[in-house]
Each structure stands twice: as structure tokens, then as C-alpha cells.
Structure 1
Amino acid sequence: MRQKSRTGKVPADQVIKGTTARAATSDEVKVLRKEAVSGQALELRLLKKA
């Protein structure tokens, strides 16, 4: 989560880095799960061929 300075503003280095922490929406979670499962399935196929 971005930490505000005494002035109440977010430090510029955090803005540049894009270090914003927030909760994911349910749709984002679904997409991330699908991507993770797809990646695991691909990795498993590659391991089976080796």
C-alpha cells in the first residue's frame, strides 16, 4: 500500500514504481486463476515430454 508523507501526498518514487496495493476484484481473481492453471498445465505437458 502506498504510504503518504506528512503532507498527505504519495512519494514520487512510489508513484513511478507503481507500487499500489489493492484488493483484486472477483473477475481479476478468476482471470489470474485461469492463467495459473493454464501455465501449470503447459508446464506439466512439457515435463511429461522430457
Structure 2
Amino acid sequence: MNVIFLLAPFSVVLGLIAVGAFVWTLRSGQYDDIEGSAARILIEDDAESDKPAP
């Protein structure tokens, strides 16, 4: 029973750290262009295709 007095504050602190990390990613613009990143992998880069194959 004494373990709950240790685990409850620990879980609250861990949850606050997770919420803080989520807010930090929102403010840093991590989720601004979701579709652009998905489409960027499909676009061929002309500079890369001009290089001769080894």
C-alpha cells in the first residue's frame, strides 16, 4: 500500500513531462507540413539523378 504513495506522484510527473514534450513539438512546428513530407519522398531530385552510377 505504501508503494502507491510513490507511484502516483511519479505517474503524474511522467504525464506532465509527456504533455510538455507534446507542447514543445507543437511550438517548434513539427506538425506544420504533414503532407509535404509524405510527398517529398516521391519527388526525384535532379541533382542526384545527374550523378553517374558507381
In the TM superposition, what whole-angstrom CA distance separates every residue of 1:3-41 from its partner, at most 9, and x where no partner exists? Answer: xxxxxxxxxxxxxxxxxxxxx711110010000000000
Q: CA RMSD in A?
A: 1.4
Structure 1 ranges of 4+ moved more than 2 A = none
- Gaps (5+ residues) in structure 1? 1-23
- Higher share of residues assigned helix: 2
Partner of 2:23: 45
Identity percentage of aligned residues? 0
How many aligned positions are there? Answer: 27
- Gaps (5+ residues) in structure 2? 29-54
Which of 1 and 2 has higher RCO (CA within 8 Å, sep 6+)?
A: 1
Q: When the two structures are superposed, what TM-score results if normalisation uses the length of structure 1?
A: 0.50
